[in-house]
Amino acid sequence: MKENLLVIVGPTAVGKTDLSIEIALHFQGEIISGDSMQVYKGMDIGTAKIRVEEMKGIPHYLIDEFNPDYAFSVAEFQEIATARISEINRRNHLPIIVGGTGLYIKSVTHQYQFSKASMNESIRSEWYHYLEIYGKKALHQKLADIDLETAKKLHVNDVKRIIRALEVYYQTGKTMSQLLKEQQLKIPYHLLMIGLTMDREKLYDRINRRVDLMLEQGLVEEVEKLLELGYDERYTSMQGIGYKEIISYLKGDLSLEEAVNQIKQGTRRFAKRQLSWFRQMPEINWFDMTERKEQVQKEIMEKISHHFAGKLIYLKNN
């Protein structure tokens, strides 16, 4: 029998978190964060991380798991999330993945098979030597020359993953993106995917207001504290939207107004990319949250009840 899995996706600021709590309360769910940034401790305001009091007693996983200097990978996300899904199902509860990191979520729903190419110290040493001589940008360009698709997904500072991608290519003769495309992906779960969307202008307004709120809540102070702890732009986590711009402000490279405007613009572009990714997944059932929020939420609840009818031991009547 396939395990149950509910997934809620959509662009940033569309309302996934609030909806997920209501669903979890109604269907005795437990929530797994599908956000690549919320795994990091101390990065709360800039990632719009849910606060403990907002969780309303619902168990949450893959939040505050690692320090910001840890290079968390999609393969690790898949391993941890898959194990949590099984644990939650064994408790006869409903596992709910909530987030906007498309690659991470699809790696679980479609169970990507990541490259099993073993570590090759000789190849890795060569590329680390290349890095020492020519620098990060040149290393990133080397990957772009052979696998532009993967290179676009990796920041220039993400040296560990860049070298791993080069290592896989020179061991197997195939790029990471090619290996991914060759997989025969199958969904191993009794899966329901809910996608939230919204009128673009309204979504962009929500994004702008969210960024303003982050500043009011102390985003600058949060970044200052992280820098004091030694977590700077060397780390992939600190290249996230909201963090790299505030670092530039604190260094004097940007005014605060310029930094805030760049955060807003970067977040709007990110939301557009999120929608583009998820639109390619035919499994998603889309719901427009622009108007009639309560009615739409009721329709989503009905969709979940119908999909998991007879599959859930416990349905909370409230």
pLDDT tens digits for range 136-158: 999 999 999 999 999 988 888 88
Residue 101 among known ligand-binding residues: no
pLDDT tens track for 72-125: 888 899 999 999 999 999 999 999 999 999 989 999 999 988 766 666 788 888
Residue 137 among known ligand-binding residues: no
108 residue type, one letter? V
pLDDT given for residue 318 in this prediction: 45
Q: Would you list the DSSP string of 248-277?
A: HHHHTSS-HHHHHHHHHHHHHHHHHHHHHH
pLDDT tens track for 6-15: 999 999 999 9
3-state secondary structure string across 176-211: HHHHHHCCCCCCCEEEEEEEEECCHHHHHHHHHHHH
The Cα–Cα gap between 292 and 256 comes to 37
pLDDT tens track for 32-47: 999 999 999 999 999 9
The Cα–Cα gap between 188 and 146 comes to 32
Paired strand residues for 7 = 97, 193
The tokens for 167 are: 């290592």
Residue 11 among known ligand-binding residues: yes
Residue 34 among known ligand-binding residues: no
When pLDDT is averaged across residues 204-227 and rounded to a whole number, the result is 98
The Cα–Cα gap between 17 and 198 comes to 15
When pLDDT is averaged across residues 258-265 and rounded to a whole number, the result is 98
When pLDDT is averaged across residues 286-303 and rounded to a whole number, the result is 95
Residue 9 among known ligand-binding residues: no
Helix (H) or strand (E) holding 149: helix 148-153
Q: Domains, the chain, ranges and CATH?
A: 3-113+183-307 (3.40.50.300), 121-181 (1.10.20.140)
The tokens for 128 are: 């680390």
Taking the whole predicted model, whether its pTM rises above 0.75 is answered as yes
The Cα–Cα gap between 257 and 160 comes to 34
pLDDT for 314 beyond 60: no
203 residue type, one letter? L
pLDDT given for residue 116 in this prediction: 65
* Residue with token string 């779960």: 189
When pLDDT is averaged across residues 171-197 and rounded to a whole number, the result is 89
Residue 16 among known ligand-binding residues: yes
